[in-house]
């Protein structure tokens, strides 16, 4: 997938979460770039890292932790 295609798709996700178009595009650009960096660091693919970062973003936007990270915190 080309970067521009990835950025357009991620921009739509952020817009669906309520971000304005210019802000959504800026965040998408940063997220795609970070996915590329993480793919090199973790020896995975950009798609896998982009999926992980998008999941984290969606949970964060809802004020939640990812289910696999909830065990790190005690709920009181």
pLDDT digits (tens, 9 = 90+) for 6-32: 999 999 999 999 999 999 999 999 999
1: which DSSP letter? Answer: -
pLDDT digits (tens, 9 = 90+) for 54-64: 999 988 887 77
Q: Is residue 34 part of a domain?
A: yes
* Residue 64 near residue 70, CB atoms below 8 Å: no
> What domain range is 43 assigned to?
3-62
Q: In terms of Cα–Cα distance, which of 38, 32, 42 is closest to 1? A: 32
Predicted TM-score (pTM) of this structure: 0.80
Quote the tokens at residue 18. Answer: 């309520």
Q: Is residue 72 part of a domain?
A: no
Q: How many residues does the chain have?
A: 76
What is d(CA 23, CA 44) in angstroms, rounded to the nearest whole number?
28
Per the structure, how many domains does the chain have? 1
Q: Is residue 74 part of a domain?
A: no
Q: Is residue 40 part of a domain?
A: yes
Q: In terms of Cα–Cα distance, which of 68, 40, 53, 70 is closest to 13? A: 53
């Amino acid at each position: 997938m080309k970067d521009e295609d990835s950025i357009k798709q991620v921009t739509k996700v952020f817009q669906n979460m309520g971000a304005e178009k210019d802000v959504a595009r800026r965040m998408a650009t940063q997220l795609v770039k970070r996915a590329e960096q993480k793919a090199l660091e973790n020896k995975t693919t950009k798609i896998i890292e982009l999926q992980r970062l998008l999941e984290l973003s969606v949970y964060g936007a809802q004020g939640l932790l990812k289910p696999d990270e909830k065990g790190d915190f005690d709920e009181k």
